[in-house]
Structures are given as C-alpha cells and as structure tokens.
Amino acid sequence: MSHLLQSTFIPTTPTTLRRCSVFPTTHLRKTHVVESKIREIFMPALSSTMTEGKIVSWVKSEGDKLAKGESVVVVESDKADMDVESFYDGYLANIIVPEGSSASVGSTIALLAESEDEISLAKSKTLTTVSSSSQETPPATVTEEVSPVVSPVAAAVSLSSDAVKIASAIHPASEGGKRVVASPYAKKLAKELGLDLRGVVGSGPNGRIVAKDVEAAAAAASDGAAPIGVAAAALKPSGSAPAAPVVDLGTTVPFTTMQNAVSRNMVESLAVPTFRVGYTITTNALDSLYKKIKSKGVTMTALLAKATALALAKHPVVNSSCRGGKSFTYNSSINIAVAVAIDGGLITPVLQDADKVDLYSLSRKWKELVDKARAKQLQPHEYTTGTFTLSNLGMFGVDRFDAILPPGTGAIMAVGASLPTLVGSKDGRIGVKNQMQVNVTADHRVIYGADLASFLQTLAQIIEDPKDLTL
C-alpha cells in the first residue's frame, strides 16, 4: 500500500503557542485536543487530484488494536476505493467520520490511542474548536450522503428473519450473478471464511459489501438460515428481464466523489483551445485479423490501442502534453488511456508502453484493468498516467461522436462503429467495405491540423494493413 494514514501527536501546549492554521477560515477543520499520547488520523490524499474522500467502511471498530501497516479504513477517492493502513501501533480510540460520510484531505477522521487505557481518555477529552463563522455556515468538510433508494420487494415466500433482512436490501450491483462490489477487507474475510460473495448483499454505500455483511452472512449460514443466494433468487421473478435502475423522479441527488472529479476535469478542459479532425478508415483487414486471434484472448480494444500506439511512435507531437500554456512535453512513454463506463461515472485505465508490449500481453493487461476498474480497485498510476486517450462507442452502434479532451493530455480519439459501407474504387467500381469513423480532439496550442492529418494517415495505414500488430 503506497499511501499510509498520516497521524501526529496532539499537543497539549496553550493555544497561544500553537502554529496558526494556513487554511482559509472557510476551510477550518475540527481540531480534537486530547491529553497524553493520542494521535489524529487524517484523511489521506490518495491521488494528485483528490480534494476529499468518502469513508466506504471502517475495517476496524472503536477499541480495536492496530498494528503498523494494518488496514484501518477503506476510502473512496475520486476514482477508486483503497485500503488505507496505519502508520503506528495503537488502539482505534474514536471514529469521527462515520461510514458513508466525506471529509476533506487533511482533516481528522479518527483518533489513535497508544494504549488501551487511553481510549476512554481520548473520548472524554475530545474537544471541538470551530470558528465563529462556522456557526452560521454548515461545515464543508464532513457531509452526510442520502441513503440509496431501495425498491420495495414483496416477500411472497416464508424465510427466516435474517434471510429476509438480507434479501430485501438487494442492490443491482450484486444482483443476478453480476459482478460483486465489495471492500478489499470484505473480500479477504470472505475468502478466509469460505463464503461466496455472489450470495451476499451489501449494506454499504450503493450496495457495497463491507466486512459486517460478510460476518452476518457467515453467522446466518451457521445458524441454519436459508442460503442468501437462494433467498435472493426466491424474491426475484423467474425469467424476468433485468429491472431498470429505480430512481425517485423529481429529487435532487448530490454528486458522488467520482462525479465531482469528472465535473472538475470537464470544466478544466474548457480552458484549453481545441479543434477536431475526422477520418474514415477501412477495417476489413483488421476485422479478419480479429476473427483469427480472438480465440487467443485478444480484444478489439487491445488491437486499437496497439495500432494507435504504433502510429503515435511516428508522430510524437500528438503524444505530447501541455501544462500552463508556456511549454509542452514530448512524453517518453506512449501510455494509452481507454475510457470505461462504470457505476456512477467513468474512468480511464491506462495501457502503459502500449507500443512496446505485445498484443497478447496487452489484451491480458486490459482485462485485468477493466476488472479492477469495475471493482474500484485501480491504483492511481493505473488511471492517471495516460498520454493519449481512446473513447470507443462503436459497440453501441454509434457511428461518430466527439470526445472532450482530458486535462494534461494532447489528444483524445473518439472511435465509432465499423459498418458496411458502399464505396467507389479508383477504377469506377462500387463495392461494400467495412469502415469506421474516428474523430480526434486535440490541444491546438501544441498540435496543429497537419500534425493530426499525418497521424491519422499513418493510423489508417496500420489498420488497413495490420501485419505489424502481431509482431
């Protein structure tokens, strides 16, 4: 774990001797002053763009003993959920920010006592210092989130009380054999207990499975209650199509942490002068290659990423990036970020050094990244290091679209569907070929029209004669 919970001793010196806060008054956080060796546990910065985090679940409870390097809490950053470990040995004395609540980076989320005897002392001596202005304005550092709306389900069968309680809280993320959304500690605990998470329904935010759900499921199984998977299936009409997400029309829903990050990036992108260039590429040869090697685990995403990376190697300016508007960087690596839609937003897992990695390894890596993205387990370097972005809506039948340039990159390419198209040959004949439309959005401070035109010509040559892709 690259990021550990930062904590510090809480001083007991007079207020006049303490260093003044460097934060503006509008961002004053609560200061918890406790005697003896009590440490504050702060909300860590898990990525360079993270300004606040949400507590997904506390791995430890108040009073539990902690060892240095042991997981304490699961935090949702702007793009992923991450286990955060303790920097010190001690006891978790007081949880200040509960599960489901958010706190700004650097604010206190819990207190850590050095000995068990100091736990009660930490709770009894905890004081809150709030500026006078905060009495009029609600604190911005800790916000409660509205609980997800759960559709009522008619219990038509007789089940034990435990099974009914679990089954009635079904969330689409873990329904019908789909992917399981669970905290890392819950997955570890389930493995130790030999419990199948596909039969467990989470009580955490957005239906996420947390440790207490695994413990409850294990207890229910040992008590002879109906298996959770069976209980859930009994409440779901057989043969019915997947239900559409239930929303309460007319309500206002706050952004999730990920949606806030996406919103900030989109607004930041408006400050960049961009332009767009489109190109039509014939894909018959690429389609034939894909049919031959698909059985070996190769994905179309990997094929497109590899072709793009090889073209970028010949046009380094299209792989460059500009920050600040006074200089730009020719990136030393070609890292292809690919947009992936996940629950509550989108993320761009990165295929690093895509021009150097062979196609089969690239496909295996892509599948691994997608699984981690959908489980919200990507590490920051796996989604923040892209130098060029692909956005593909071709699988939905979209023939063309424009993409918004991610901040800090030089270009993004929107890929449409490959469709049979009537085309005329140079000798005047008419035939049918598979063609796709690609549109590149680029930073005009660095990349010019001729640069993109030349890059797209190279890309078309690679795709229309893809022999180099399998080397």
Structure tokens at 180: 């399981």
Say what the pLDDT of residue 55 is: 87
Q: Structure pTM?
A: 0.60
Tell me the C-alpha distance between 10 and 5, whole Å.
15
The boundaries of the domain holding residue 383 are: 272-464
User: How much is the average pLDDT of 283-296?
Assistant: 95
Q: Over 60: is that where the pLDDT of 289 sits?
A: yes
Q: Over 90: is that where the pLDDT of 392 sits?
A: yes
Active site residue 3: no
Domain-terminating residue out of 127, 142, 174: 127
Residue 35: pLDDT band by 50, 70, 90 thresholds?
very low
CA dihedral 206, 211, 213, 215 (to 10 degrees): 180
Number of domains in the chain: 2
Domain-terminating residue out of 127, 146, 181: 127
Catalytic site residue from 27, 171, 315, 444: 444
Q: Please check whether residue 406 lies inside any domain of the structure.
A: yes
Q: Please check whether residue 306 lies inside any domain of the structure.
A: yes
Burial of 346 (0-12, 13-18, 19+ CB in 10 A): middle
pLDDT digits (tens, 9 = 90+) for 148-197: 333 333 333 233 333 333 333 333 333 444 456 777 667 767 777 778 87
Sign of CA dihedral 257, 243, 151, 247: positive
Q: Percentage of residues in the chain with pLDDT exceeding 90?
A: 35
Say what the pLDDT of residue 5 is: 52
* Contact (CB, 8 A) for 286 and 463: yes
- What would you measure as the largest C-alpha separation in the chain, in angstroms? 91
Domain-terminating residue out of 100, 127, 154: 127
Q: Please check whether residue 251 lies inside any domain of the structure.
A: no
